[in-house]
Amino acid sequence: MASFPPEPVKVLIVDDSASARAMLRAIVETDPGLCVLGAAPDAFAAVKMMKLELPDVILLDLELPGMDGMTFLKRIMAQRPIPVVVCSGFTAGGSDQSVAAMEAGAVDVILKPQARNEQARMEAQVRICDALRAASQSGGRRPVQAAVRAPGAKLSADEVLPPPNLSKPIPVTEPIVVIGASTGGTEALRQLLVALPPDAPAIAIVQHMPPGFTAAFARRLDGLCQVRVNEASDGVMLRQGEVVIAPGDHHIMLRRLSGGYRVTVADGPYVSRHRPSVDVLFRSAATAAGPNALGIILTGMGDDGARCMGELRASGAHTIAQDEASSVVYGMPREAVRMGSVVQSVALDRMAAAIMGFARRHRTGVQA
């Protein structure tokens, strides 16, 4: 029996700027797996379009006339949840609003594209189309056909730092946790970090987010959690009870210093089509921490982190993937499992206990 490719993901664009609607439409229409169902200038026009046909994903600007985007989002989530990707401008207020939107049910946030040059347009195309595809999967759709990608090779962590020397012994240190996440990760991280006690081991996180948004995300988490949460800064020392989140558009890496770890924040090329990249963080942890580390890969589309989680495991680290049932998008965890990089899969509501269990076993082994 012949098999047919799935129908394209239907996208409804909601933005009050005619030029932004035109640019977003042009970007979405470059991808054969996506189609534009309509482009609305405000929430009221969007509602009329949705009465005729429901989209698979809504691409939503929060700054709308009449009914603002946040109110519209909350009504969607209360009445008929549809995956929503927030498309926000790069402002402090926009960053805080976008974080609040994800708490209200949006699955992802992307930066409104700037048509500075062709390269910027192509990078925006990849980010936006990937976000829409991932959001559609969070709504229960099957993956659509392969995406159109920007020209150029998909770069590995080799572009930023060399592979770890797995034969080189690594001294025992305090336990360290490294976490990677993408679509659905903001809510997963909130649930995970809120459940941790104040004496949790030091944690470094890569969450795929645009520049400027990670600081607002870290501030929000810091106000909710018993652990302290900050956006990572170059040279900061990782300490027990503290969490750092990679700043958007920068890689973070660990380097060992005596019995602890410092963070390096660096520019550089996109790795696995991301900056920050989970692969870069995981490779640095394999090199610097080895068996002192716990690597965790959470919900997200694509394969960033899967390969270098294998290096982490080979270095003696313990590795965990979020299980399929609790993942918004079981992409990154699936790839890590498929590559043999994962020691165990764990439900999100058991992840905090797994972290504390790892820290307890590690410290007991050191004392013994």
Which residues are known catalytic residues? 182, 208, 304
* Spatial distance between the Cα atoms of 63 and 260, rounded to a whole number of angstroms: 44
d(CA 181, CA 8): 26
Fill in the DSSP letter of residue 264. E
Query: Bridge partners of 266?
Result: 251
CA nearest to 83, candidates 26, 10, 30: 10
Whether the link from the prior residue into 32 is cis, omega within 30° of 0, is no
- Decide if 332 contacts 304 (C-beta within 8 A): yes
Please give the Cα distance from 128 to 116 (Å, whole number). Answer: 16
* CB neighbourhood size of 250 (10 A): 18
| Residue 39: strand pairing partners | 13
Are the C-beta atoms of residues 143 and 137 closer than 8 Å to each other? yes
Which residues 6+ apart lie within 8 Å of 22 measured at CB? Answer: none
List, in sequence order, every residue forming a beta bridge with 107; answer none if it has no partner.
none
Give the Cα separation of 30 and 274 in Å (integer).
20
Output the six-digit token pair for 199: 């004496």
